[in-house]
Amino acid sequence: MSAVHRNKVYITGYGIISAIGCGAAETFAALQEKQSGIGEISYVETALKNYPVAEVQKSNEDLVLLASLPENNMYSRTFLLGLIAAQQAMQMAGLKSVQGIAGATTVGGIDLKERYYNRLTENCDNTLLKRKIYPWLDFGICTEEIAAYFGIRSNVTTISTACSSSANAIMFGARMIRNGITDSILAGGMDAISRISLNGFNSLEILSPTGCRPFDRNRNGVTIGEGAAFLVLESEKSAKNKKIYGEIAGYANRNETFHQTASSPDGAGIAMAMRQALDVAGIQPEDIDYINAHGTGTQINDLSEGNAVGMVFGKNIPPVSSTKAYTGHTLAAAGAIEAVLSLLSIREQTLFPNLGLENVMDELTFIPQPEMEKAGIQYVLSNSLGFGGANTSLIIKKV
């Protein structure tokens, strides 16, 4: 019996917005200049202003103008960030619509509810305000609105697996194409900073008071960020004669269910995900040229991921760095943002530095990438670790 043909999954467009820039050019310039987006919070009213965040330096009004939307409507900041990244991706791919969308978020439109909560609970007639806000409280509304904007009428789904959400959205889209279900799909994620996410991480006592320092011996927690990124994924048939920016060569998700919010310290779950992604890609560990680590700067995450890298790669560990000291932890958007950063690494044949690293944690068997450095890069492995042990690895290949 002949082997079943599996479609290759090509990336024909990508878009990104985060604390370090809007679009690929601004983003790469910030990476080159070692310009972190971490600073004081400006656009969210919170009692936790003493904790730094990685905020997109644009007001909601700025984002509405950037997205060329009608100014008299009400929008979630999460949606605005997602739409801007999706517009960039679709424009790069030269497409007006695609056959599906997989969007990811953890907060959806909750930023609107937070902003107007007091007015909504006042003892007066807020019927008009409620009519405008209530649709945005549907968790999947941001994906649905982006789908409506591009006229996407089928294969519309929202994925939420905490911090691995958009990596899983990309995996979902890749599997749809690889198995011949669709020929094109928009896949990625979006999250705005909200009080609920800040308060949630604060309740876990893992917010960094200084800014995250992944893999440092004196790391003291996570820095919450915001942003969005989307990829246009197309089959070989659909992408024929088009410019291709990369290939989703491998992917895997393993849910280890070790703890409600923490990964297993020994790294077993993420090690399984990396090994399975390598198997899907049909390559060996030594073929990986760069690892874009999840690297949040928390005690448990960095220990878990560091142990997993050692388990999978042994003595031949490729360059490793976390880019979260640039962008902060963008929650559901992190996997997609780091997929775009992986594409930029491939495009520029450049390794990105692990900012803020002063003393490497004792448990590591490798030294994270200290400086921006040119290198031959064919395969990048990008990790995303979510609450509940929802661990995902993507492998992106140069084409």
**Is 294 among the catalytic positions?**
yes
- The percent of the chain in helix, strand and coil, each rounded to the nearest 5, is 40, 20, 40
Whole-angstrom distance, CA of residue 333 vs CA of residue 228: 5
What is the pLDDT, as a whole number, of residue 150?
Answer: 98
Q: pLDDT per residue over 107-134, tens digit each?
A: 888 888 888 766 666 666 677 677 777 7
User: Side-chain half-sphere of 354: how many Cα atoms within 13 Å?
Assistant: 28
pTM of structure: 0.95
Whole-angstrom distance, CA of residue 228 vs CA of residue 142: 12
Q: What is the CATH number of the domain that holds 31?
A: 3.40.47.10
Q: pLDDT per residue over 74-98, tens digit each?
A: 899 999 999 999 999 999 999 999 9
Whole-angstrom distance, CA of residue 365 vs CA of residue 350: 22
Q: Does 5 reside within a domain?
A: no
- Give the DSSP H/E element, type plus range, for residue 174: helix 165-178
SS3 264: coil
Q: Does 60 reside within a domain?
A: yes
Q: pLDDT per residue over 35-78, tens digit each?
A: 999 999 999 999 999 999 999 999 999 999 999 999 988 899 99
What tokens were used for 350? Answer: 């450049």
Q: Does 4 reside within a domain?
A: no
Average pLDDT of 306-325? 97
**Is 259 among the catalytic positions?**
no
Q: Which of 22, 142, 212, 294 is catalytic?
A: 294
Average pLDDT of 275-296? 98
Q: Structural domain tally of the chain?
A: 1
Domain carrying residue 184: 10-397
Q: Does 300 reside within a domain?
A: yes
Q: Which of 22, 142, 163, 212 is catalytic?
A: 163
Q: Does 324 reside within a domain?
A: yes
Q: Does 1 reside within a domain?
A: no
Q: Which of 22, 142, 212, 329 is catalytic?
A: 329
The amino acid present at 364, given as its one-letter code, is L
What tokens were used for 268? Answer: 């077993």
Whole-angstrom distance, CA of residue 212 vs CA of residue 161: 22
Higher pLDDT: 266 or 4? It is: 266
Higher pLDDT: 13 or 111? It is: 13
